[in-house]
Structure 1
Amino acid sequence: MQMTQGLQRSLQQTPDRTATVFRGRRRSFRQFAARVARLAGALQGLGVQPDDRVGILALNSDHYLEVMMATWWAGAVLNPVNIRWSVPEIVYSLDDCDTRILFVDDRFTPLADAICASARHAPRLIHAGEQELPHDMLRYEQLIGNAAPVPDARRADVDLACIMYTGGTTGFPKGVMQTHRNLWCGALQRIAEIPPLPRSVLLHSAPLFHIGALSRAMMQFVSGGTHVIVPGFEPAELLHTIEREGVNELALVPTMIQALIAHPDFERTDLSGVKRLSYGASPILPTVLEDMLSALPGVDFFHQYGLTEACPIVSVNPPENHAEQGRANGLSGSAGRAVPGVEVKIVDDDGRELPPGSVGEIVVRGPNITSGYWNKPAETSAALRDGWLFTGDGAWMDEAGHLFVVDRIKDMIVTGGENVYSAEVEGVIARHPAVAMCAVIGIPHPTWVEAVHAVVVLRPGASLDADAVRAHCRDSIAGYKCPKSVEFRAELPLSGAGKVLKRELRAPFWPARAAAATP
């Protein structure tokens, strides 16, 4: 089980099929593999040894996928750096796992001096952008052109493949250790549940530093499909790229779906080639789900639930649960059922399994589950107990094994001794026709300890006040779940992966917590 095997297979079986497309630049699997072998040779020439860490701080591009594969081809370990982080957070991840090589693109070149000045060991910088080369960096294309190709190191199984830092939306970052076996099994488990399309042409728009996008790229290599890449999520470019390149498969998060459908170019774009849309990373609001189904008829929708520690797949909700019957019986709101090879159960605070219908914590185990966090034995012991990964996600399960995620455990609001799950309240608020997006958090209260607080973004031209929001909620949920306060904003803070950054929303109300979560 090695992450370069899919590339080796495509090189043998379909060498002239298009491997990557980036803004008109096209390369076959033969060309891609040749560049990977040379870039791996360049890394070894710079002193990279087996298990050394190689970082990349960049927007999406074909270079990103080349660096990923070349790192493994050279026998090293990938550190995909979060593009939304500040310099101290970036440096923390580089120092924590001793990353000595760092690829940067044009967007992040201006941060290079500050990174090198504050890192424990200033990384060797390789410029993987398109603009003029900074004087103190190595040139990406020159490295590839001057290096001799090297054989695939064929690191596999329990060899470490990736250290992916997580926790940026909720607290102090932790380096999740992912082996070749973990990632390979995650790819196969997804393939078993969602078979590849014939001649799949997948669009990458979610950031590749994130496990959802990176793992989807890995699965595309395993199955031999084509990667079409845009630097980031920009609705107009994404729509034009889908039409121009004949994209038949999309992987998005709910906030991206919402923005895509609302864009003026959506109705003018030929999306008839799209056959499948997979979404995940956060629950989808019922209103967004209905908009998606209406706007893209004939497309198969898959909801995937997972997390970085599961590399990332845990469960899948298939197209039939998005159809009329699935929406009628509530299964469209499910995160689906466990994929092959993954065991899932719901437990209480003491780790005891709960009966169907009871809310508790999701725990999982399987060959895709991480062995722990880099240099963090205490956090590893807390998350991995008796072979089970404690996810921190609250959910309940029906008698047929369908998961219904209600909240992050730490996001649950305890008000007056009652538990309130933010996802439930958000779903109700989002049904109001004036609401575009919303987020619900707990804020301090002198009597109830915590109070429900809603942050709302209105649709263009709409008007709404706090009393109307509360009245709308009282029609659907208990009074203690209704927001005691409502804040209106022009936009919500989002992570690079499109998740709402509730840590930032809570920070003004809980300054001590915010300070403790800062590296």
Structure 2
Amino acid sequence: MSMTLALRRSIQATPERIATVFYQRRQSFRTFGDRVARLAGVLQSLGMGRGDRVGMLGVNSDRWLEVLMGVWWGGGVLNPVNTRWSVPEIVYSLDDCDTGILVVDDHFLDRVEGIRASAKRPPVFIYAGEGRAPEGMPSLAALIDAATPVEDADRAGEDLACILYTGGTTGFPKGVMHSHWTLWAIGIQRFAQTPMPEGSIALHVAPLFHMGGIGRALVQFIAGETHVLATAFDAREVLQTIERERVTDVLLVPTMLQALITHPEFDCFDLGSLQRMVYGASPIAEPVLERAMALLPGVAFTHSYGMTELGSATSNPPTNHGAEGRASGLSRSAGRANVGVIVKVVDANGTELPRGEVGELIVRGPNLMRGYWNKPEETARVLRDGWLYTGDGARMDEGGHIFIVDRLKDMIVSGGENVYSAEVENVIARHPAVQACAVIAVPHAQWGEAVHAVVVRKPGAQLDDAALHAHCRGAIAGYKCPKSIEFRESLPLSAAGKVLKRELRERHWAGQSRQVS
């Protein structure tokens, strides 16, 4: 299977159907397909060979989707760059997988010189904005207009399609490799989980560089239906867009959903077109879900549990969100395994545990990543005998429903973004006044979890919150920086000298039914 196959089907079967809506700009599948074929030729002329990496640094837009499909049409591999990263983080990902071309929109032009100055092999930059191209950067629009369409390179199956960078347990991001086959499986599984009738219109507000965002786009391409794109999440704009474009489908992280239903103008918009809402990336607070269902009674809610390494593993369908599901507690589950997926809860030796006992959730299916780019040891730790070890603590009931209860790996999920403690700790430890530190997750009303740093100063050293925050912001993205800092004389240690993070977490999580939010 090839991800371009879905686009070719739409060009053939419904060429005049609207493919993308980006504010006032609309284009049919015929027009979109022609631009994709031209863009593929442009990328090839700039040096993209089969399997070569091309980066996209930009907010959600129709041009983003053109680059997505254009890279694949031309035979390349997409590196979707996290727009919240600092320049050093961006450069690391470009260097790590040797990205030769980087498409940049208006929002990130200020990063170009920093990237050019520090990348091992500065990429060829292409401007994909709405204005005049900066000096020295060719315009994507002009290049496409002058190009000749090329044939689909028809890379498919196990051919590499994209490298999605996620946080690293060793302090460095990991490039998650997905083939055309795994992406196709992810899209088909999501399509099976939330079937869409003809005429479905999806609003993309989750960032497309995330698996959640790109996975939702794949579903829409497979369905051959319309994509509506917003540059970023703004509650009022989302409400306005749903009304204006008669949106039927949307994927939101819980923080977005909460902002939507608590917006003071919520009742001012006609949301009657909305039929399906998928939420995921982090668990949702029950009061938020109950209020959302009360305010949107005609909408079918689905919870999707997954991660970058596998897309979606389980789904909790609309039937579990009704009164009976809430009464039985099934609304709080992550649902059952998706179509074509098997899940198990195992002990430290990999032995399956009896129903109701807590262990590590492991997953098997055609949607699993092909490994981490150039990281065989880390790949071997999570991919074992065909199973992906999620690092999440869970239990399974007699009906096969999964309940996530704890996080076994040292990761924080804040507003749907994954933050690895080791990465933040490495940055904090580089401050000359820091003797020791530990980073943990603490509950947060808006973001679910927040990054909390516990720091021990060197004897006689001066260091306050403001100075440490400034230090962190110079090295990592803002969402990874500590939201709160606690200074201590020492850290609790085990007999083996390891920091006892569970002790640090105890007072923050006391009274909580689970150790994740």
Distance 1:155 1:216 in 2: 21
Shift of 1:317: 0.5
Distance 1:500 1:187 in 2: 31
Identity %: 56
Shift of 1:272: 0.5
Structure 2 gaps of 5+ residues are 422-436, 448-476, 492-497, 500-517
Distance 1:322 1:343 in 2: 23
2:116 match:
116
SS at match of 2:409: helix
Equivalences for residues 296-445 of structure 1 within 5 A: 296-310=296-310, 312-411=311-410
Distance 1:155 1:456 in 2: 44
Equivalences for residues 20-419 of structure 1 within 5 A: 20-167=20-167, 171-310=171-310, 312-411=311-410
When structure 1 is superposed on structure 2, of 347-356 and 200-209 the one drifting more is 347-356
SS at match of 2:303: strand
Shift of 1:131: 2.4
Distance 2:243 2:224 in 1: 21
Alignment CA distance shift 1:45-1:450 (3 Å): closer
Alignment CA distance shift 1:24-1:169 (3 Å): farther
Shift of 1:291: 1.3
SS at match of 1:8: helix
SS at match of 2:294: helix
Provide the aligned length of Structure 1 versus Structure 2.
445
Shift of 1:172: 2.6
Structure 1 gaps of 5+ residues are 413-421, 427-438, 442-448, 460-498, 515-519
Q: TM-score, normalised by structure 2?
A: 0.81
SS at match of 1:184: helix
Asked if structure 1 preserves the Cα contact closer than 8 Å seen for 2:343 and 2:362, the reply is: yes
SS at match of 2:228: strand
Distance 1:98 1:451 in 2: 31
Alignment CA distance shift 1:408-1:131 (3 Å): farther
Q: Which amino acid aligns with 1:215?
A: G
Shift of 1:198: 2.4
Shift of 1:132: 2.5
Distance 2:345 2:478 in 1: 25
Match of 2:482 among 504, 507, 516: 504
Q: Which amino acid aligns with 1:50?
A: R
Distance 1:450 1:68 in 2: 38
Asked if structure 2 preserves the Cα contact closer than 8 Å seen for 1:55 and 1:103, the reply is: yes
Shift of 1:249: 0.8
Equivalences for residues 421-500 of structure 1 within 5 A: 454=442, 456-457=444-445
Distance 1:325 1:391 in 2: 30
Shift of 1:190: 1.7
Distance 1:298 1:169 in 2: 42
Shift of 1:265: 2.0
SS at match of 1:309: coil
Distance 2:324 2:478 in 1: 30
1:417 match:
none
Shift of 1:199: 1.1
Asked if structure 2 preserves the Cα contact closer than 8 Å seen for 1:18 and 1:27, the reply is: yes
1:6 match:
6
Shift of 1:193: 2.5
SS at match of 1:151: coil
Distance 2:169 2:254 in 1: 17
Asked if structure 1 preserves the Cα contact closer than 8 Å seen for 2:255 and 2:446, the reply is: no
Asked if structure 2 preserves the Cα contact closer than 8 Å seen for 1:60 and 1:207, the reply is: yes
Distance 2:18 2:287 in 1: 37
Asked if structure 2 preserves the Cα contact closer than 8 Å seen for 1:163 and 1:178, the reply is: yes
Shift of 1:195: 1.2
Asked if structure 1 preserves the Cα contact closer than 8 Å seen for 2:206 and 2:251, the reply is: yes
SS at match of 1:267: helix
Distance 2:440 2:99 in 1: 42
Distance 1:287 1:229 in 2: 29
Asked if structure 2 preserves the Cα contact closer than 8 Å seen for 1:169 and 1:502, the reply is: no
Alignment CA distance shift 1:355-1:75 (3 Å): same
Shift of 1:361: 1.0
1:474 match:
none
Alignment CA distance shift 1:507-1:386 (3 Å): farther
SS at match of 2:267: coil
Deviations 1:65-116 (A, max 9, x none): 0000000000000000001100000000000000010001111001100001
SS at match of 1:9: helix
Distance 1:509 1:124 in 2: 45
Distance 1:102 1:110 in 2: 14
Q: Which amino acid aligns with 1:341?
A: G
Structure 1 segments of 4+ aligned residues over 6 angstroms from their partners: 449-453, 509-514
SS at match of 1:59: coil
Q: TM-score, normalised by structure 1?
A: 0.81
Alignment CA distance shift 1:248-1:363 (3 Å): same
Deviations 1:445-498 (A, max 9, x none): xxxx99998555599xxxxxxxxxxxxxxxxxxxxxxxxxxxxxxxxxxxxxxx
Shift of 1:407: 2.7
The RMSD of aligned alpha carbons is: 2.9
Shift of 1:234: 0.8
Deviations 1:160-202 (A, max 9, x none): 0000001179953100000000000111122222212321100
